[in-house]
Structure 1
């Protein structure tokens, strides 16, 4: 996604300048922020994709494998995976279809809920998710291109934005022990 050679000016800064020049100054900062986040997403996704593609994974496939690996038994109902990944059930079905075809997961009937299907991490999937996570940590997350303190600030700002948009709620405080 990155340009082969850097542009001689920041197109988002130029768009902001144009926004102001056209009488939309009250919206210029938000337009620039939204545009910056979307462009940053493209740049970040490109880095992640370049690392995962040689392993035969997309970020969506990695997310599902990683989610399953975090569970006690390596299994989760498909509906729970959809909710935790914050994607439509159809998207989870599509990812599971591809992972199942590659032997990374399998579907099983839920032992107590006849309506539910479990997606279960296979041994092959467990090996691949560990390898992919190691490579991703080494090649992307260890050197993200943003200083650690700024990463924490950025994450905090974006979490607040996400929460305020209804993406999640803060957990209730844990009561003090008696």
Structure 2
């Protein structure tokens, strides 16, 4: 049964207290950080899922459509989509299969590499992703639940973490707010 309101205590703070009480003091702050990020992701995904549900889109499907929508011609090689989305090729392939099935994306032969595929955004896919983007912008991204200063600080902290983890190298020119 789903809970009906806020918990009377912060379970992550309680977990940290327990970590310290069990002698894992050196790991307590890291456990708190990791668990907090995971919980924040769950909360954000719940909002995103609710916003995208009327469009019959998952966030993965939205991301792929949006990626194609950002290109000049609405097309890109499958390998480029996999690299930019930073998910396993099988996951991207599965997402593409569903988008193709729904008439939102076409899979065409690559014009030069016969082994590769091109992903092409259909008119229906473009129209849907524009409507979904408007909804996400209005209902989530314009107010993610953090102040503007906290949002900028959080993005900066996470960007440094991602860069240090090898997620990307310094781009030139650097986009804000890195």
Per the TM superposition, whether the score is higher than 0.5 is yes
State the match for 1:91 in structure 2.
91
Query: SS state of the match for residue 106, structure 1?
Result: strand
Query: Which segments of 5 or more consecutive residues in structure 2 lack a partner in the other structure?
Result: none
The whole-number CA distance in structure 1 between the counterparts of 2:146 and 2:154 is 10
The whole-number CA distance in structure 1 between the counterparts of 2:147 and 2:138 is 16
Superposition deviation, residue 3 in structure 1 = 4.2
Alignment of 1:38-77 (within 5 A): 38-77=38-77
State the match for 1:118 in structure 2.
118
Deviations 1:17-63 (A, max 9, x none): 01111111111111001000000000000000000011100000000
State the match for 2:129 in structure 1.
129
Normalised TM-score (structure 2): 0.94
Query: SS state of the match for residue 119, structure 1?
Result: strand
State the match for 2:27 in structure 1.
27
Query: SS state of the match for residue 5, structure 2?
Result: coil
Superposition deviation, residue 114 in structure 1 = 1.2
Superposition deviation, residue 4 in structure 1 = 2.5
Question: What count of residue pairs does the alignment treat as equivalent?
Answer: 173
Superposition deviation, residue 171 in structure 1 = 2.2
Query: SS state of the match for residue 170, structure 1?
Result: coil
State the match for 2:154 in structure 1.
154
Superposition deviation, residue 113 in structure 1 = 1.4
Normalised TM-score (structure 1): 0.94
CA RMSD of aligned residues (A): 1.3
